[in-house]
Amino acid sequence: MCATHALSLQVQGIKRFFLFPPSDSPHLYAHGHTQSRSAIPHSDLVNDTVDPAAFPLYSHATMHIADIRAGDVFFCPSNWWHTTCVVSAEPSVTLGGNFVTDENLEEHASQWRDYLNMQAMASAGAAHIEHVAKRPLKKAETKG
């Protein structure tokens, strides 16, 4: 899960996306400073072998699966949990990127500032730093 939208264009092979809506966050054991990573191992998700004793809330999550083939374009909205694996015997080639729109700009900026603050604290070895990134990001001006 992250605060950017993702776009994937499949050039060759087949890639499988495993998706969970943002509302499933409590069931996916989010961790890390931005709560954007799941503690559930990737291999357990893609092989459908999540241990119910270790992750009992996972049974309440709703997984959606989408396969994309050569020529397909896939859009994953911000804050949707997702991971992938290759399911074709042939090599898989995917072109992808992440982007921010007016819809998710503030959340992305907030997560980015949190990340920069954490990195600065780790680099400086400081126990506390007020704010490294005080200036909010501004929307890009568009000319029409």
pLDDT tens string 55-101: 999 999 999 999 999 999 999 998 898 899 999 999 999 999 887 77
Size (the chain), residues: 144
Angle formed at CA 77 by CA 137 and CA 104, multiple of 5 degrees: 20
Question: In this predicted model, what pLDDT tens digit does every residue of 32-52 receive, in sequence order?
Answer: 666 677 889 989 999 999 999
- Is the pLDDT at 53 greater than 90? The verdict is yes
Q: Which one is predicted more confidently, 26 or 105?
A: 26
Q: Which one, of 82, 32, 35, 31, lies nearest residue 55 by Cα?
A: 31
DSSP state of 104: T
- Is the pLDDT at 143 greater than 50? The verdict is no
The gap from C-alpha 99 to its chain's centroid, in whole angstroms, comes to 12
Residue 2, token pair as written in the block: 């992250």
pLDDT at 126: 52
- Is the pLDDT at 103 greater than 50? The verdict is yes
Instruction: Kindly report the average pLDDT of the chain as a whole number.
Output: 82
Q: Which one is predicted more confidently, 6 or 3?
A: 6
Please give the single-letter amino acid code of residue 141: E
Q: Tokens 């603050």 correspond to what residue?
A: 117
Taking phi first (over 0 means left), then psi (-120 to 50 degrees means alpha), and beta for anything else, what does residue 59 get?
alpha
Q: List the beta bridge partners of residue 68.
A: 15
Pick from 1-10, 85-94, 121-130 the range whose average pLDDT is largest.
85-94
Q: Which one is predicted more confidently, 37 or 16?
A: 16
CA distance 49 to 41: 10
pLDDT at 125: 63
pLDDT at 98: 80
CA distance 26 to 47: 21
pLDDT at 132: 44
